[in-house]
Structure 1
């Protein structure tokens, strides 16, 4: 026969288990989203700012063992909710010692170059050599997937004997988009308009279809900024006896929007 004392022991153990589980599943306070993560401060203190920036004042200090809910993120700042209806902003760098409901350390990564994968548009500027002429270019790109993007490209080249403008649409493939030094390959097509610098004999501008192949590499320096180096081969389909091949080298940078 099971003793009365053993039954009391089982009852106490069950109540303790239910209490611990309920404590781990505390529902967020009113006004806090259900998916907000509840964490406990593990460092001596965390400064709470009134806004997402060092220029905002500190209005509260969360001490060791205090609970707070992570609401949303803005770059390297996180909005938090604390008891007694306090909301404020914390630097991600200050959240290196916070613990979840299960007691495990919660890691909030700092923004880095991998965040460009979340940006769809980029704007770029380049300078280089277009068959011996100085060239300046601009491009506007859109990312469809982590590996595939498209660009609208415009280049102005100024030479001793002629100037040219090239307008193209290109598709870029990055096989390793999460590498900090990421190579890419491209294919494209467009038009090339050549204006000869003739002073004695009047000449007409030429407009040719321009096919594009090339390769390059992007070096991600910050969350929204990358340097790029590129080699491009332009194949001009002319109306003359021979088609023309132009090699272009360029350096530039992209800003992710």
Structure 2
């Protein structure tokens, strides 16, 4: 795959199409400031943790959608730049309700990193089926990389000092794990299903498209209303957390701090 010259822009596209938006930079600043507030114990620490986790979660959602768009752009769909997807601006995405509002609501309700809606991609111009699958893979892979990065201080033994900060960081890492695992499930309508779609026969693709609008709803229903599936899912998440060195007791502490209203 040819990525072109740095910064990889197509002729005629303004630099603004590739610059981080002020909205994203503002959210990133809130993430940093609320992290400092949590570390220093400024004000109400539970409010600090809530702001830190929500801001960090929205940053990860922006990066998730950006990863989809960047791979699509490199793979042949240059319209993603015209649509503003490469600016990390949450307002520009096709489904802000699915991508940001609903995930934050479910985060507050159940402590689950719900997958968001992907950016709109013109799959007919993508160079190959492998690249088409890679577009879907890139989003949840970004969540997984973010989770590993957040867990790194724990694996290096740097988690000394303010316990509230480390609990908040552990909970945020846990949310990244839930998002990556959910997104990789081979369910029509989310990234795991979309990853398989290019390799299906036309008949299976037609059936996939019929089910896709309901895939997310089915996933939510199973997680929230089936204790067995909910238990299996969290067993997998905690097992993966153990593998990468995420302290489960800090995840629980972080979740309790996050729910400042309870």
Check whether TM > 0.5.
Answer: no
TM-score (norm 2): 0.25
* Higher radius of gyration, 1 or 2: 1
Which structure features the higher share of helix residues? 2
Which structure features the higher share of strand residues? 1
Question: RCO (CA 8 Å, sep 6+): is it higher in 1 or 2?
Answer: 2
TM-score (norm 1): 0.25
